[in-house]
Amino acid sequence: MMFNRKTGVAVILTLAIIGGIAATKPPEEHKFQNLKVLPKKISMQDLGKVMDNFKEALGVKCNFCHAASKDSSNHHLDFASDEKPEKNIARKMYKMTAKINKKFFSYNKGETGEMMPSVECMTCHHGHEHPTK
């Protein structure tokens, strides 16, 4: 596609408008079906951030933890399903990580209020599904 100034300006304006809407809209509330460790009322955006974080920390795609949809007419994942054992392992790992932070890092505040480093999935996994790899 030829990029001329006019389309360029139009694209920038459109992006500015979309950006403006996104910035003024309150975080979207979404009903997830099967949350056991994350807050039930987590927004779509925050859940997305958590999932991206899992994905990067383990160096996997969404389907590492999420089973394929039973509906064979699509290639979607059934995010609410607990069919894949990896999903439940991830829940345990999430609880373990929270416990480590709470018990040993005092929610990231040291005794004198200084910031403490926290433990995350990445701390052990370093981009690998199995930390010892």
Q: Which residues bind ligand HEC (CB under 6 A)?
A: 32-38, 47, 51-52, 54-55, 58, 60, 62, 64-66, 79-80, 86-87, 89-91, 93-94, 97, 119, 121, 123-125, 129-131
Nearer of residues 109 and 126 to ligand HEC, judged by Cβ: 126
Least spacing, CB of residue 8 vs ligand HEC, in Å: 32
How many CB atoms within 10 Å of residue 118?
13
- CA-based nearest residue to 29, from 21, 40, 20: 40
Nearer of residues 35 and 116 to ligand HEC, judged by Cβ: 35
Task: List own/partner pairs for 31-40 with CB under 8 A and 24 or more apart.
Answer: 32/79, 32/80, 33/80, 34/80, 34/81, 34/82, 36/91, 37/91, 37/94, 37/95, 38/94
Q: Which residue has the tokens 């894949």?
A: 84
Nearer of residues 9 and 122 to ligand HEC, judged by Cβ: 122
Label residue 59 exposed, middle or buried (CB < 10 Å: 0-12, 13-18, 19+): middle
Least spacing, CB of residue 103 vs ligand HEC, in Å: 12
Least spacing, CB of residue 57 vs ligand HEC, in Å: 6
Least spacing, CB of residue 24 vs ligand HEC, in Å: 25
Least spacing, CB of residue 129 vs ligand HEC, in Å: 4
Nearer of residues 69 and 87 to ligand HEC, judged by Cβ: 87
